[in-house]
């Protein structure tokens, strides 16, 4: 016995009948249902005729709809006047219209999933498609359907301010007004109120400015200073190996120069510090992924798994331009735009802050004033658009050739801050030997643990 696709014929009849009963209800239906959401061909043709009558600003009744059906030579296929009268008589009132619309949508979405799954199945038998591309296509098709299900209605301001008040009350006892994840840097926390869920934060700089080191400092601080040192941090490094990442963190935590850790040239005090630093790091919930050819769908899938296990509070990605595009495209700018948009969607879906590092264009080097501006974001203006916060890291002494004149001063410029102040420079000291950032006003050991 052949299987019949999911549908709700009675609900479809009720929706169309309600429009004939009260033509003003057509605006409620148009916003939610498309022609293809109806399963029965007769209902599709009748609904299409109704839409045409409405678009021409004519009165919706049997005569006008029948005229449109005749004009399109669809009157017979739609069941004729007899069927129009039948569906009208079928509905005594319009009081349950929303419920009937939901039933029609329910059947439509199920059919879309079934049809899409069939397309995915057929595509999987092709020899000219790679597994990663196949998985990406499958994910995108299913995700597109799920987004249709998530379309929301207007929400009255009363409900929204009630939620805002609840958040305010929940945050009122939090120290220093920090409602998000503490970064370990006092002034950055004050500007952002901590790293907030659903935020995409872009940290951008020219190569060798120290952005990877700053990102690892943030990852380390978030893991140590939130949820009683039990916060989970996922670090995706497309440039450095897991060993290199751990070595940099060990240098910071054990207070040993990175080169000495690399060479193994340590004295007895260093070995003692190394042991303490190692034990400290082992107790933190930091996980690494150093896949060099990871795609944005890979990152999303791995983060979604961690989130489902309750093991995700913060994501660090180093760096955005190295992420492999999910779809083959000759236009890198469009590809980067899709990647940045996907990262923002991931942050919203998983409700965690996502920090993505980004390269700046070479245009910075051609100017006398080499301090970055938003226009310097490389390859795509959509990075600026998608980001909630944009931070620029700038070291003036990077351009100083005389080693004795290097100060270690670093400015973190808050170029964009959707929920707070922007156009502000925060001043840090950077010690490359230890991959460590500290504020100029306070040393690391003075910060609250």
Catalytic site positions: 239
Per DSSP, 6 falls in state: P
Query: In whole angstroms, how far apart are CA 195 and each of 147, 173, 264?
Result: 26, 18, 36
Q: For residue 259, give both structure tokens.
A: 């080169």
Beta strands in 255-328 (DSSP E): 285-289, 314-318
Query: In whole angstroms, how far apart are CA 347 and each of 198, 224, 341?
Result: 4, 21, 10
The closest alpha carbon to 449, from 194, 73, 184, belongs to 184
CA distance 224 to 216: 12
Residue that has been written with the tokens 């943030």 in this structure: 218
Dihedral angle over CA of 201, 207, 210, 213, nearest 10: 70
CA distance 272 to 270: 5
Q: Is the preceding omega at residue 319 within 30 degrees of 0, hence cis?
A: yes
Q: Decide if 220 contacts 435 (C-beta within 8 A).
A: no
Q: Which residues pair with 416 in a beta bridge?
A: 390
Please tell me the number of Cα atoms within 13 Å of 219 on its side-chain side.
33
CA distance 385 to 401: 36
Beta strands in 302-344 (DSSP E): 314-318
Q: Decide if 221 contacts 195 (C-beta within 8 A).
A: no
Q: For residue 395, give both structure tokens.
A: 């070291």
Q: Decide if 333 contacts 348 (C-beta within 8 A).
A: no
Residue that has been written with the tokens 């990152």 in this structure: 299
Q: Which residues pair with 413 in a beta bridge?
A: 392, 425
Residue that has been written with the tokens 């700046």 in this structure: 360
CA distance 374 to 51: 46
Query: In whole angstroms, how far apart are CA 245 and each of 161, 182, 435?
Result: 43, 21, 11
CA distance 106 to 108: 5
Q: For residue 152, give both structure tokens.
A: 């929301």
């Amino acid at each position: 016995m052949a299987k019949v696709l999911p549908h709700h014929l009675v609900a479809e009849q009720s929706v169309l009948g309600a429009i004939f009963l009260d033509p003003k209800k057509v605006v409620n239906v148009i916003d939610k249902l498309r022609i293809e959401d109806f399963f029965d061909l007769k209902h599709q043709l009748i609904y299409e005729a109704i839409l045409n009558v409405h678009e021409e600003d004519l009165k919706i009744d049997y005569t006008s709809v029948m005229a449109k059906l005749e004009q399109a030579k669809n009157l017979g296929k739609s069941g004729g006047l007899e069927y129009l009268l039948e569906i009208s008589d079928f509905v005594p009132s319009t009081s349950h219209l929303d419920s009937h619309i939901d039933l029609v949508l329910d059947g439509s979405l199920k059919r879309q999933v079934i049809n899409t799954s069939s397309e995915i199945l057929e595509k999987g038998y092709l020899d000219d498609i790679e597994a990663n591309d196949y998985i990406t296509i499958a994910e995108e098709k299913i995700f597109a359907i799920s987004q249709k299900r998530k379309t929301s209605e207007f929400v009255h301001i009363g409900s929204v301010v009630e939620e805002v008040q609840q958040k305010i009350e929940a945050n009122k006892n939090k120290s220093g007004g920090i409602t998000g994840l503490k970064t370990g840097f006092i002034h950055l926390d004050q500007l952002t109120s901590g790293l907030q869920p659903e935020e995409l934060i872009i940290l951008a700089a020219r190569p060798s400015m120290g952005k990877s080191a700053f990102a690892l400092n943030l990852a380390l601080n978030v893991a140590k200073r939130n949820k009683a040192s039990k916060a989970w941090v996922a670090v995706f490094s497309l440039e450095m190996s897991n060993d290199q990442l751990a070595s940099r963190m060990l240098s910071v935590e054990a207070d040993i120069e990175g080169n000495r850790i690399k060479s193994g040239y340590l004295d007895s005090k260093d070995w003692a510090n190394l042991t303490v630093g190692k034990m400290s790091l082992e107790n933190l919930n930091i996980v690494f992924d150093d896949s060099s050819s990871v795609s944005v769908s890979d990152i999303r899938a791995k983060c979604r798994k961690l989130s489902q296990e309750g093991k995700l509070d913060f994501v660090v990605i180093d760096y955005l331009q190295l992420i492999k595009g999910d779809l083959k495209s000759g236009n890198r700018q469009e590809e980067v735009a899709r990647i940045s948009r996907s990262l923002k969607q991931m942050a919203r879906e998983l409700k965690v802050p996502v920090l993505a590092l980004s390269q700046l264009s070479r245009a910075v080097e051609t100017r006398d004033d080499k301090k970055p501006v938003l226009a310097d974001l490389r390859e795509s203006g959509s990075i600026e658009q998608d980001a909630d916060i944009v931070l620029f890291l700038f070291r003036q002494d990077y351009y100083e050739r005389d080693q004795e004149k290097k100060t270690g001063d670093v400015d973190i410029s808050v170029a964009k801050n959707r929920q707070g102040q922007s156009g502000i420079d925060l001043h840090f000291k950077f010690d490359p030997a230890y991959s460590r950032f500290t504020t100029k006003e306070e040393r690391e050991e003075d910060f609250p643990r």
